[in-house]
Structure 1
Amino acid sequence: MSKTITFNELRRLKDSLPDGSTHRIADELNLTVQTVRNYFGGVNYQFGKNVGMHIEPGPDGGLVVLDDTTIYDMAVKILEEQNQAEA
């Protein structure tokens, strides 16, 4: 299932993750850390893969179509865990 959000929303999600989240996502999904970084807008394809995101020019950084939401969903889950721990 794909998801469409703005690039700035995707970056805000990444920036709000607690320290170590990129490594946790990579470890749990058996991906390289750079692949996870590329998912959130990084562009180092020498050490990471393209993970099915497409950016269309537009307002708020443009639209991002995520072909696979697994990394996105895991990031949201981590934020939910963090919010519950702080409550």
Structure 2
Amino acid sequence: MSTTITFNQLRKLKDSLPDGSMRTIAEELDLNVETVRNYFGGKNYERGRSVGIHIEPGPDGGIVELDDTTILEFAKDILIGNKEVHAYN
């Protein structure tokens, strides 16, 4: 299932996540942490892979088309308290 969101909305969601969320999402979905970060606009393709994020220039940081919303939905569940986050130091 694909969805469209602005880049600034995607970054705001990422910035709202508690510490340890990237690692929690990666572990739960069996992904590399850098792959999860790339989903939220990161660009570390040496350690992570591309995850079907397409950014078009436009207002509010541009328009982002997400091919798969699994990571997005997991992040939203963390924010509303449906998923537990384990902080890693």
Instruction: Structure 2 unaligned segments of length 5 or more: list them.
Output: 83-89
- Residue 63 of structure 2: aligned partner: 63
Amino acid of the residue matched to residue 51 of structure 1?
V
- Residue 37 of structure 2: aligned partner: 37
- Residue 52 of structure 2: aligned partner: 52
Deviations 1:49-86 (A, max 9, x none): 0000100000000000000000000000000007xxxx
- Residue 6 of structure 2: aligned partner: 6
Instruction: Structure 1 unaligned segments of length 5 or more: list them.
Output: 83-87
**Runs of 4+ with deviation above 4 angstroms:** none
Amino acid of the residue matched to residue 13 of structure 1?
L
- Residue 76 of structure 1: aligned partner: 76
Measured in 2, the distance between the counterparts of 1:44 and 1:26 equals 15
Instruction: Select the structure that is richer in helix.
Output: 1
- Residue 27 of structure 1: aligned partner: 27
Task: State the Cα distance separating 1:9 from its structure 2 match.
Answer: 0.1
Which TM-score applies when normalising by structure 2?
Answer: 0.91
Amino acid of the residue matched to residue 28 of structure 1?
E
Identity among equivalent pairs (%) = 68
How many residue pairs match? The answer is 82
Which TM-score applies when normalising by structure 1?
Answer: 0.93
